[in-house]
Amino acid sequence: MVSDFSKYSLVIGRFQPLHMGHMEVIRKCADESEHLTIGIGSAQYSHTTENPFTAGERYLMIEETLKAEGITNYSIVPVEDLNRYSVWVSHVVSMCPPFACVYSNNPFTKRLFTEAGFDVKASPLYNRAMYSGTEVRRRMIADEDWQSLVPPAVVTVIDKIDGVGRLKSFNGKDAEL
Ligand code: ATP
Ligand code: MG
Protein backbone atom coordinates (compact mmCIF):
# COMPACT_ATOMS: atom_id res chain seq x y z
CA MET A 1 0.00 0.00 0.00
CA VAL A 2 1.25 3.46 -0.88
CA SER A 3 2.61 5.05 2.31
CA ASP A 4 0.67 8.32 1.78
CA PHE A 5 -2.42 6.36 2.75
CA SER A 6 -0.93 4.72 5.83
CA LYS A 7 -3.43 6.50 8.10
CA TYR A 8 -6.44 5.75 5.88
CA SER A 9 -8.68 3.09 7.43
CA LEU A 10 -11.70 0.91 6.76
CA VAL A 11 -14.53 -0.37 8.96
CA ILE A 12 -17.19 -2.60 7.46
CA GLY A 13 -20.58 -3.70 8.78
CA ARG A 14 -24.14 -4.25 7.57
CA PHE A 15 -25.54 -1.47 9.80
CA GLN A 16 -29.04 -3.00 10.00
CA PRO A 17 -29.38 -0.50 11.64
CA LEU A 18 -26.42 1.65 12.78
CA HIS A 19 -26.27 1.32 16.60
CA MET A 20 -24.25 2.67 19.56
CA GLY A 21 -21.74 -0.20 19.34
CA HIS A 22 -20.93 0.69 15.72
CA MET A 23 -20.61 4.33 16.75
CA GLU A 24 -18.04 3.56 19.48
CA VAL A 25 -15.84 1.98 16.80
CA ILE A 26 -16.49 4.66 14.20
CA ARG A 27 -15.65 7.48 16.66
CA LYS A 28 -12.41 5.79 17.71
CA CYS A 29 -11.33 4.96 14.15
CA ALA A 30 -12.20 8.41 12.78
CA ASP A 31 -10.15 9.90 15.62
CA GLU A 32 -7.13 7.66 15.01
CA SER A 33 -7.24 7.92 11.21
CA GLU A 34 -6.62 10.66 8.71
CA HIS A 35 -9.56 9.28 6.73
CA LEU A 36 -12.06 6.54 7.53
CA THR A 37 -14.03 4.59 4.95
CA ILE A 38 -17.25 3.07 6.28
CA GLY A 39 -18.20 0.12 4.09
CA ILE A 40 -21.89 -0.81 4.06
CA GLY A 41 -21.75 -4.57 3.61
CA SER A 42 -24.46 -6.76 2.02
CA ALA A 43 -25.48 -3.57 0.22
CA GLN A 44 -27.77 -5.30 -2.26
CA TYR A 45 -30.12 -6.62 0.42
CA SER A 46 -33.18 -4.94 1.88
CA HIS A 47 -36.72 -5.86 2.92
CA THR A 48 -35.70 -9.04 4.74
CA THR A 49 -35.82 -9.81 8.47
CA GLU A 50 -32.00 -9.77 8.70
CA ASN A 51 -31.51 -6.88 6.27
CA PRO A 52 -34.58 -4.66 6.49
CA PHE A 53 -33.01 -1.39 5.28
CA THR A 54 -31.71 -0.46 1.84
CA ALA A 55 -28.11 0.63 1.30
CA GLY A 56 -29.39 4.18 0.72
CA GLU A 57 -31.35 4.21 3.97
CA ARG A 58 -28.33 2.89 5.88
CA TYR A 59 -26.16 5.51 4.13
CA LEU A 60 -28.49 8.25 5.40
CA MET A 61 -28.45 6.85 8.96
CA ILE A 62 -24.65 7.01 9.01
CA GLU A 63 -24.39 10.38 7.28
CA GLU A 64 -26.96 12.11 9.54
CA THR A 65 -25.38 10.65 12.69
CA LEU A 66 -21.84 11.69 11.77
CA LYS A 67 -23.06 15.16 10.81
CA ALA A 68 -24.66 15.49 14.26
CA GLU A 69 -21.42 14.35 15.91
CA GLY A 70 -19.22 16.68 13.85
CA ILE A 71 -17.19 13.88 12.25
CA THR A 72 -16.13 14.86 8.73
CA ASN A 73 -13.07 12.77 7.74
CA TYR A 74 -14.94 9.86 6.25
CA SER A 75 -16.45 8.31 3.11
CA ILE A 76 -19.36 5.88 2.99
CA VAL A 77 -19.22 3.14 0.37
CA PRO A 78 -21.95 0.54 -0.20
CA VAL A 79 -20.35 -2.85 -0.95
CA GLU A 80 -22.38 -5.72 -2.38
CA ASP A 81 -21.63 -9.25 -1.26
CA LEU A 82 -19.54 -11.40 -3.52
CA ASN A 83 -19.99 -15.07 -2.82
CA ARG A 84 -16.42 -15.83 -3.68
CA TYR A 85 -14.37 -15.10 -0.58
CA SER A 86 -10.95 -15.44 -2.22
CA VAL A 87 -11.55 -12.25 -4.19
CA TRP A 88 -13.67 -10.38 -1.65
CA VAL A 89 -10.81 -8.16 -0.44
CA SER A 90 -9.98 -7.11 -4.04
CA HIS A 91 -13.66 -6.35 -4.54
CA VAL A 92 -13.76 -4.12 -1.42
CA VAL A 93 -10.53 -2.40 -2.48
CA SER A 94 -11.95 -1.75 -5.96
CA MET A 95 -14.97 0.06 -4.46
CA CYS A 96 -13.35 2.10 -1.67
CA PRO A 97 -10.93 5.02 -1.36
CA PRO A 98 -7.40 3.75 -0.62
CA PHE A 99 -6.85 2.39 2.89
CA ALA A 100 -4.00 0.63 4.68
CA CYS A 101 -5.63 -0.37 7.96
CA VAL A 102 -8.79 -2.37 8.71
CA TYR A 103 -10.58 -2.33 12.07
CA SER A 104 -12.57 -5.50 12.71
CA ASN A 105 -13.32 -8.13 15.31
CA ASN A 106 -14.84 -10.53 12.82
CA PRO A 107 -12.40 -13.49 12.51
CA PHE A 108 -13.29 -14.03 8.89
CA THR A 109 -12.80 -10.40 7.87
CA LYS A 110 -9.57 -10.26 9.87
CA ARG A 111 -8.21 -13.37 8.19
CA LEU A 112 -8.99 -12.25 4.65
CA PHE A 113 -7.48 -8.77 5.07
CA THR A 114 -4.43 -10.13 6.90
CA GLU A 115 -3.76 -12.58 4.07
CA ALA A 116 -4.00 -9.67 1.62
CA GLY A 117 -1.30 -7.77 3.57
CA PHE A 118 -3.40 -5.13 5.34
CA ASP A 119 -2.73 -3.89 8.83
CA VAL A 120 -5.67 -5.38 10.77
CA LYS A 121 -6.46 -3.85 14.15
CA ALA A 122 -8.78 -5.38 16.71
CA SER A 123 -11.80 -3.30 17.63
CA PRO A 124 -13.33 -4.17 21.00
CA LEU A 125 -17.02 -4.99 21.31
CA TYR A 126 -18.97 -2.55 23.46
CA ASN A 127 -21.87 -3.88 25.52
CA ARG A 128 -22.53 -6.55 22.90
CA ALA A 129 -25.58 -8.01 24.70
CA MET A 130 -27.44 -4.78 23.97
CA TYR A 131 -25.54 -3.18 21.13
CA SER A 132 -26.20 -5.58 18.28
CA GLY A 133 -28.29 -5.22 15.14
CA THR A 134 -30.11 -8.46 15.99
CA GLU A 135 -31.16 -7.08 19.40
CA VAL A 136 -32.31 -3.76 17.88
CA ARG A 137 -34.47 -5.59 15.31
CA ARG A 138 -35.85 -7.94 17.98
CA ARG A 139 -36.92 -4.99 20.12
CA MET A 140 -38.53 -3.23 17.14
CA ILE A 141 -40.74 -6.23 16.47
CA ALA A 142 -41.51 -6.75 20.19
CA ASP A 143 -42.45 -3.08 20.76
CA GLU A 144 -39.63 -2.75 23.29
CA ASP A 145 -37.25 0.19 23.68
CA TRP A 146 -34.94 0.04 20.64
CA GLN A 147 -34.50 3.80 20.43
CA SER A 148 -31.95 3.93 23.27
CA LEU A 149 -29.67 1.50 21.40
CA VAL A 150 -29.22 3.71 18.34
CA PRO A 151 -28.15 7.34 17.76
CA PRO A 152 -31.01 9.91 17.68
CA ALA A 153 -30.53 10.54 13.93
CA VAL A 154 -31.14 6.84 13.27
CA VAL A 155 -34.46 7.01 15.13
CA THR A 156 -35.47 9.94 12.91
CA VAL A 157 -34.59 8.12 9.67
CA ILE A 158 -36.33 4.90 10.75
CA ASP A 159 -39.46 6.79 11.79
CA LYS A 160 -39.55 8.66 8.46
CA ILE A 161 -39.45 5.42 6.44
CA ASP A 162 -41.74 3.51 8.83
CA GLY A 163 -38.91 1.06 9.37
CA VAL A 164 -40.61 -0.63 12.32
CA GLY A 165 -43.79 -1.11 10.30
CA ARG A 166 -41.74 -2.61 7.49
CA LEU A 167 -39.98 -5.07 9.80
CA LYS A 168 -43.27 -6.07 11.46
CA SER A 169 -44.95 -6.58 8.08
CA PHE A 170 -42.62 -9.48 7.31
CA ASN A 171 -44.11 -11.32 10.28
CA GLY A 172 -40.80 -13.05 10.95
CA LYS A 173 -40.66 -14.50 7.42
CA ASP A 174 -38.77 -13.48 4.32
CA ALA A 175 -40.47 -13.10 0.95
CA GLU A 176 -40.78 -16.03 -1.39
CA LEU A 177 -40.32 -14.57 -4.83
P1 ATP B 1 -26.27 -8.10 13.30
O2 ATP B 1 -26.71 -8.58 14.64
O3 ATP B 1 -27.37 -7.63 12.40
O4 ATP B 1 -25.30 -9.02 12.61
P5 ATP B 1 -24.11 -6.45 14.30
O6 ATP B 1 -24.39 -5.72 15.55
O7 ATP B 1 -23.29 -7.73 14.39
O8 ATP B 1 -25.50 -6.71 13.57
P9 ATP B 1 -22.98 -5.66 11.81
O10 ATP B 1 -23.73 -4.63 11.02
O11 ATP B 1 -23.09 -7.09 11.45
O12 ATP B 1 -23.38 -5.46 13.35
O13 ATP B 1 -21.49 -5.17 11.78
C14 ATP B 1 -20.52 -5.99 12.29
C15 ATP B 1 -19.35 -5.17 12.74
O16 ATP B 1 -19.77 -4.09 13.56
C17 ATP B 1 -18.48 -6.06 13.60
O18 ATP B 1 -17.44 -6.63 12.85
C19 ATP B 1 -17.96 -5.11 14.64
O20 ATP B 1 -16.74 -4.58 14.21
C21 ATP B 1 -18.97 -3.98 14.70
N22 ATP B 1 -19.80 -4.07 15.89
C23 ATP B 1 -21.02 -4.62 16.01
N24 ATP B 1 -21.49 -4.51 17.26
C25 ATP B 1 -20.54 -3.90 17.96
C26 ATP B 1 -20.41 -3.50 19.34
N27 ATP B 1 -21.36 -3.72 20.24
N28 ATP B 1 -19.27 -2.91 19.72
C29 ATP B 1 -18.30 -2.68 18.81
N30 ATP B 1 -18.34 -3.03 17.52
C31 ATP B 1 -19.45 -3.62 17.09
MG1 MG C 1 -23.12 -9.07 12.69
Task: Provide the residue ranges of all domains of the chain, joining segments of one domain with +.
Answer: 8-167
Q: How far apart are CA 3 and CA 7, in angstroms?
A: 8
Phi, psi of 9 (to 5 degrees): -125, 165
How far is ligand 2, taken at its centre, from the CA of residue 64, in Å? 22
Q: How far apart are CA 9 and CA 144, in angstroms?
A: 35
Residue 121: what pLDDT? 94
Residue 22: what pLDDT? 98
CATH superfamily of this structure's domain 8-167:
HUPs (3.40.50.620)
Q: Which residues line ligand 1 (CB under 6 A)?
A: 13-16, 21-22, 24-25, 104-106, 123, 125-128, 131-134
Low-confidence ranges of the chain (pLDDT < 70): 1-3, 177
Strands across the sheet with 35-40, in order?
74-78, 35-40, 8-13, 101-103, 119-121
Residue 123: what pLDDT? 84
Pocket test for ligand 1, best of 18, 110, 132 (most atoms within 8 A of CB): 132
Residue 3: what pLDDT? 62
How far is ligand 2, taken at its centre, from the CA of residue 2, in Å? 31
Residue 174: what pLDDT? 85
For residue 105, give the ligand nearest its CA.
Answer: 1
Residue 45: what pLDDT? 97
